[in-house]
Amino acid sequence: MKVLVTGGAGYIGSMVCIELLNEGHDVFIVDNFSNSEMGTITKIMGITGKMVQYANVDITDRTALEVIFRSYQFDSVIHLAGKKSVSESIENPLQYYYDNLIGTVMLVQLMQQYDVQSIIFSSSATVYHPASICPIQETATLKSSSPYGRTKLAIENFFRELTAAHSNFSVVLLRYFNPIGAHSSGEMGEKPLEVPNNLLPYLMDAVSGKRPILEVFGNDYDTVDGSGVRDFIHVEDLAKGHIKALYYSMQNTGCEAFNLGSGTGYSVLQLIDTFAKVNEIDVPYHIGLRREGDIPVSFADISKAQRFLGWRPNKTLEEMCIDAWRWQLKLLKEQHVEAQIVFPSKKTV
């Protein structure tokens, strides 16, 4: 199949491209490289030994996007391009609604115009009501607490209405939980160019001395050890879910949502402990206050994805931590900052 991947140079998008290429599909990447690097495209080709076409295009640039649609007949679109920081979305909702919503609407306009009937959309567990009972099922009440989350929810609603009106259209909504880890080759992983927002980038910055210490946001939740509980999923497992979703989309019309998580909740402190153990390195942290807007516990019921997509995650929390740190070490070496690793570690880095 010929698949257009928007945001294909990003952390998750690049892993999706590798899986697509490994499965023998043709990939065309559209990315504006605002939070990714062109070098990632070379890495994708290096890892897979396959050619990739790409364009430096913002999905809100309808004219540039149309040139691509006019030139290639895609079988499906995997749509990951968009902004993804909760805190930034509170400061700049206009940008979030414009990029995420308008970008998606323009993309779908072109899909209709050029007769592309299938799309896999990168949604998020943030669409679920903060008080949802875990494990969260796809049928849980939807209500997001940030502008970012509400753009995802608005796009989901848009797709539901679109498929109700156009019965040939197929939309798969993939609700990601907490993707972490890196490619098992050690060659690719998360490299946030913008200020990182998530736990793992902060943890690795603390370990490598880029920031003094990791702050654990609260240890007074009603959880196993008081820290927040999340559903961490290896980014490679997550990427494989997109391929299964693509095949599902080829066989089914309508709009269907699936959780992509590991199905297991681990606490922040358990993650820190696992990371330290498997990598034989100290993680400097202290307990801080709760972060505003955080929910205590979030983990997925993944039985729907298992049943309908035939997908199940394979990688353990240990593997996520090993792969994440292996990638971070490579990055540090590239950036020549080994000398800055100041915190006492048992292993020589």
- For the chain, give percent helix, strand, coil, nearest 5: 40, 20, 40
- If one asks whether residue 178 binds ligand UFG (CB under 6 A), the answer comes out as yes
**Which window, 39-47, 214-222, 313-321, 333-341, contacts ligand UFG (CB under 6 A)?**
214-222
- Site string (244-283) toward ligand UFG, x via CB under 6 A: ------------------------x---------------
Residue labelled with tokens 């990638």: 327
Query: Of the two residues 8 and 196, which places its CB atom closer to ligand UFG in the complex?
Result: 196
Work out which of 4, 44, 65, 125 binds ligand UFG, going by CB under 6 A. 125
- If one asks whether residue 202 binds ligand UFG (CB under 6 A), the answer comes out as yes
State how far Cα 56 lies from the chain centre.
20
- If one asks whether residue 114 binds ligand UFG (CB under 6 A), the answer comes out as no
Whole-number Å distance between alpha carbons of 260 and 179: 9
Query: Of the two residues 44 and 324, which places its CB atom closer to ligand UFG in the complex?
Result: 324
* 68 close to 30: Cβ distance less than 8 angstroms: yes
Closest separation between CB of residue 16 and ligand UFG, Å?
17
Work out which of 83, 183, 230, 315 binds ligand UFG, going by CB under 6 A. 230
The site for ligand UFG, by CB under 6 A, has a size of: 21
Q: In this structure, are strands 26-31 and 53-56 parallel, antiparallel, or unpaired?
A: parallel
- If one asks whether residue 216 binds ligand UFG (CB under 6 A), the answer comes out as yes
Query: Of the two residues 11 and 248, which places its CB atom closer to ligand UFG in the complex?
Result: 11
- If one asks whether residue 286 binds ligand UFG (CB under 6 A), the answer comes out as no
* 193 close to 141: Cβ distance less than 8 angstroms: no
Closest separation between CB of residue 128 and ligand UFG, Å?
7
Q: In this structure, are strands 170-176 and 118-124 parallel, antiparallel, or unpaired?
A: parallel
Between the CA of residue 270 and those of 206, 221, 274, what are the distances in Å? 17, 14, 6
Residue labelled with tokens 């998580």: 261
**Which window, 72-80, 124-132, 156-164, 252-260, contacts ligand UFG (CB under 6 A)?**
124-132
Whether omega before 135 lies within 30 degrees of 0, making that bond cis, reads: yes
Whole-number Å distance between alpha carbons of 79 and 5: 6
Active site residue 148: yes
Contacts of 144 (CB under 8 A, 6+ apart): 126, 127, 128, 150, 152, 153
- If one asks whether residue 298 binds ligand UFG (CB under 6 A), the answer comes out as yes
- One of 11, 128, 148, 285 is an active-site residue; which one? 148
* 240 close to 174: Cβ distance less than 8 angstroms: no
Closest separation between CB of residue 314 and ligand UFG, Å?
21
Work out which of 70, 277, 286, 291 binds ligand UFG, going by CB under 6 A. 291
Q: Token digits for 142?
A: 């939807």
130-161 core/surface letters (b: 16 or more CB in 10 A; e: else): eebebbbebebebebebbbbbbbbbbbebbbe
Query: Of the two residues 4 and 207, which places its CB atom closer to ligand UFG in the complex?
Result: 207
Q: Which residues bind ligand UFG (CB under 6 A)?
A: 84, 86, 124-126, 149, 178, 197-199, 202, 214-217, 228, 230, 268, 291, 294, 298
- Among all residues, which ones are annotated catalytic? 148
